[in-house]
A and B are shown apart, each in its own frame.
Chain A
Amino acid sequence: MSADILLEVRGLRTVFDTRAGQVCAVDGVDVTVNRGECLGIVGESGSGKSVTFASVMGLVRVPGRIEAGEIVFDGIDLRKLSAKKMQAMRGRDIAMTMQDALTALNPALTVGEQLAEMLAAHADDLPPGRMARRAAIRARAIEMLTRVGIPSAGERLGQYPHEFSGGMRQRIMIALALAAKPRLLIADEPTTALDVTIQAQVLELISALRAEFGMSVVLITHDLGVVAQHCDRVMVMYAGQVVEEGPTAQVIRQPRHPYTQGLLASIPRPARRGQPIRPIQGQVPELVNLPPQCRFLERCPLADDACRHPIDMRPAGPERRARCIRITTPDIEKGLSHDI
């Protein structure tokens, strides 16, 4: 493994046993996160983004389970770790923020309590003695809240999550995730629940903290615009698989996979003013008993009989890969480069 790689996932397969059959939410996913980089993950709802990273955190719940794959974090195979050791890594080495801060924060505990327990669990440089320890934890909690932009943090430690605005809650969750200065932050749709101006602030905050702490960030989002602004590389997921990955600028300028092309064509952008927005037709297939063929087949404008067998990822340029038998550069994307 290269020294630059922080997280490497190989052949991850996570399934849910349901009454309708086995739902294969993540099917053969590879992820590489380099040190210090920001990797964007995009894809429609239900494409397996959250389940992939819940698997990385070891937080898949019944009826779900990881069926196959290797998850290596900084040289450690996480799937082989004991529950105790995995617990020690969560929060301290790999942290996560969840899609909805309102439901992710415990409604019955104050923000101060939730920060304090996090610090107590992970900070090993606290002074001895109960009172000194308490004071140090409190000081650090205030410091964290202030850092993420919560005014008069000291007074607000005693408040409950519902007493904060949505944007503030998102910041609190980020403060919690970063309290132990992790090396990898998985930010699952940190802005979906927020309005536009707050979105920009929260993303700026994550970028600033990434630089400050020198950590890597996985940014899960629906929004290619966010990826274009904040991510070094991007990974596009569809129906439990990665369909395209590469450096952000290149993927956006020249999407190789018809699904990525569709995603790009479906967002309104100033450069295409006057042209109609074209949403991708059809729906994501049910992830139960999928036929052995390209998963995008029903929705793909380029599909033909050659696509009726399982498609592997294949090289699509320097540092790029895509899961399509026709690696194309269609003309619709010409001239749509950096203006997202």
Chain B
Amino acid sequence: MTLTRLLERLLQLIPVLLGVSVIVFVMMALTPGDPIQIMIGDQIVTAEQEAQMRRDIGLDRPMVERFFVFLGNAIQFDFGQSFYHRRPVADVILERLPATIELTIVAMLIALVTAIPLGVLAAVRKNSIFDRIATVGGLLGVSLPGFWFGILLLMLFAVHLNILPVAGRINYGISQGITPYTHFLLIDTLLNGRLDAFRNALAHIILPAVTLGLPMTAILMRVTRTAMLEVLRTDYVTFAQAKGLSRQRILWRHALKNALIPTVSVAAIETGSLLGGNMIIETVFGWPGLGRLVVESIFVRNYPLVQAAVLLYAVIYVMLNFFADILYTILNPRVKL
């Protein structure tokens, strides 16, 4: 792929992102409840003071003007103050974001690492007992509500067996003295040479990551299975057999290399849907990430924060789709951008 083509594709994102901003802005503007009243809470203010507040935030301006102000600020990553935290929204979000990204990536990796071999095996042993179990398991994986499965895992591993922690990202005591180079705990603990802390962080992340990744695992397994079945019927697999290559080589190199093209693209797109899952899973597992922050903020009507988070989610989602496209072309030598 050429650089100019890449830039072109990036430029195409602009109208999409603009549209997303309009939607977020209008959505928040139409939400019932006057932000000024929320800010005032039960303080006593005069009508004059209230009007002044309104002018300060610019709420007395026409909608269109307010939108461009919002957009201009958003580009500078300025989303105003979080009423609740009394700090800039952007700071609060940035503080919580690494935990969510870490959880999402681990969930994604768990999903990929389990789904691909299972999908390949299900395709190779089509209609076998294994294939049937995998199919039923996959169906459950997509249809079970994440929080329900999460609570089940919690009860089993954290309560009954007591081998994994119930909530949080790391034990407070253990986390002391770790320099946050990347803000990803699994990496920072290793960079600090703190194996004990790494193990503790790993124990914390396993249950939420597995729960979050479950529907993804199920989907990716189906995609891999379908793609493999299709690929195994192709002439080039027959020809690879005719060349006298080993079964393993044909399966894992000739067939999988082609079958992975749809799998990886779907994985990239589906990562976006993990963001939605985060809100529930982070709440269930007390994970100090953005998802839980958004849920909390909705309850306390911390609108500027919700607005910023929704915009961020949308941008990430769009970027992931863009990334999936790029990945598809990289993996598939036949497609030239």
Contacts and interface: CB of A to CB of B under 8 A. Distances in A.
Determine if chain A interacts with chain B: yes
Interface of A: 54, 57, 59, 61, 87-92, 95-96, 98-100, 103-109, 117-118, 121-122, 160, 162, 173, 176-177, 180
Nearest to A100: B235
A61 B233 CA distance: 9
Contacts of A118: 243-245
Contacts of A162: 333-334
A160 B235 CA distance: 16
6 contacts: A59-B241, A59-B242, A96-B242, A108-B333, A121-B246, A121-B249
B226 interface: no
A155 B247 CA distance: 30
A88 B233 CA distance: 22
Given A98-B238, A103-B234, A117 B245 contact: yes
4 smallest CB-CB distances across A and B, nearest first, come from A91-B244, A90-B244, A103-B235, A104-B239
Interface of B: 233-236, 238-247, 249, 253-254, 257-258, 261, 331-334
Contacts of B245: 87, 91, 117-118, 121
Contacts of A99: 235
A180 B239 CA distance: 14
B257 A92 contact: no
B334 A107 contact: yes
B257 to A, nearest CB: 4
B244 A106 contact: no
A89 B234 CA distance: 22
A15 B246 CA distance: 26
Contact of B236 (A89, A90, A104, A117): A104
Contacts of A61: 233, 238
A177 B242 CA distance: 8
A117 B249 contact: yes
Given A92-B244, A98-B239, A176-B239, 13 more contacts: A54-B238, A57-B242, A90-B241, A103-B235, A104-B238, A105-B239, A107-B333, A107-B334, A109-B253, A117-B245, A118-B243, A118-B244, A118-B245
Contact of B244 (A87, A103, A107, A109): A87
A176 B245 CA distance: 12
Which one of A105, A106, A107, A109 has the greatest number of beta carbons of chain B within 10 Å? A106
A107 B235 CA distance: 11
A88 B244 contact: yes
B240 A98 contact: no
Given A87-B247, A160-B334, A105 B242 contact: no
Given A104-B236, A105-B239, A106-B254, A87 B334 contact: no
A61 B239 CA distance: 13
A104 B243 CA distance: 11
Contacts of B236: 103-107
Contacts of B239: 96, 98, 104-106, 173, 176
A96 B240 CA distance: 10
Contacts of A59: 238, 241-242
Given A98-B235, A106-B236, A176 B243 contact: yes
B72 to A, nearest CB: 46
Contacts of A180: 244
A217 B42 CA distance: 94
A99 B234 CA distance: 13
Nearest to A91: B244
A87 B333 contact: no
A18 to B, nearest CB: 15
Given A108-B257, A108-B333, A160-B334, A91 B243 contact: yes
Contact of A87 (B233, B246, B253): B246
Contacts of B258: 106-108
A224 B121 CA distance: 45
Contacts of A90: 241-244
B228 to A, nearest CB: 13
A76 to B, nearest CB: 15
